[in-house]
Homo-oligomer: A and B are copies of this chain.
């Protein structure tokens, strides 16, 4: 086989796979953009198809159960890229506060960037018990794995039991998410982002102390 034809095959296969991922991203973007504009339940799959200029069949090819699949798979994807355990491993008594800030900032950016998705997730959780459970399960899993990694590489973490650490991470995660969601989608708590992040970091620090006291 000549180099040339090989090239074509590789190119086309590459191009195809990129097309596939691009289409999936296009669906994500369009779906969450529309939700932001008109709310979750007014955003239909047909709507998404028209707005993204792809066919409804394509959406169902990649997401056979429709909207719920889009949300589920985006959730999985977003958990994969969340938090860099490398940084956390370097935690010591001096930089705890920096790491909390980092944690808060990470969630804050995520919420701002994915406002539509966060709306969708909450809406979908209400009407889909399975998603609700999967969601909890995944979060639990994620933090369990994270904690296990951290306890391997950092002495500070070893002094706290695995269970307790997982609990505290999940607690912080929920706390910050709760407030971020309310701030972005229901009613603003602060008028500038900086003030808000500052407050959240302090709040998390306070809650951490509270949590370990009890």
Contact = CB atoms under 8 A, between A and B. Distances in A.
A175 interface: yes
A177 interface: yes
A195 interface: yes
Contacts of A38: 127
Nearest to A40: B126
Interface string A31-56: 00001001111100000000000000
Interface in A183-210: 183, 185-187, 189, 195, 199, 202-203, 206-207, 210
Interface in A45-84: none
A151 to B, nearest CB: 23
Say what secondary structure dominates the interface of chain A. helix
Contacts of A202: 210
Contact of A123 (B123, B195, B207): B123
Contacts of A187: 135-136, 139, 170, 174
Which of A125, A178, A189 gathers most chain B CB within 10 Å?
A178
A127 B40 contact: yes
A10 interface: no
Contacts of A122: 122, 185-186
A77 B136 CA distance: 34
Contact of A189 (B128, B171, B186): B171
A182 B189 contact: no
A134 interface: no
Interface of A: 35, 38-42, 119, 122-123, 125-128, 135-136, 139, 170-171, 174-175, 177-179, 181-183, 185-187, 189, 195, 199, 202-203, 206-207, 210, 214
Given A175-B189, A178-B182, 15 more contacts: A38-B127, A39-B128, A41-B126, A42-B127, A122-B186, A125-B185, A135-B187, A174-B182, A174-B186, A177-B186, A178-B179, A195-B214, A199-B207, A202-B210, A206-B206
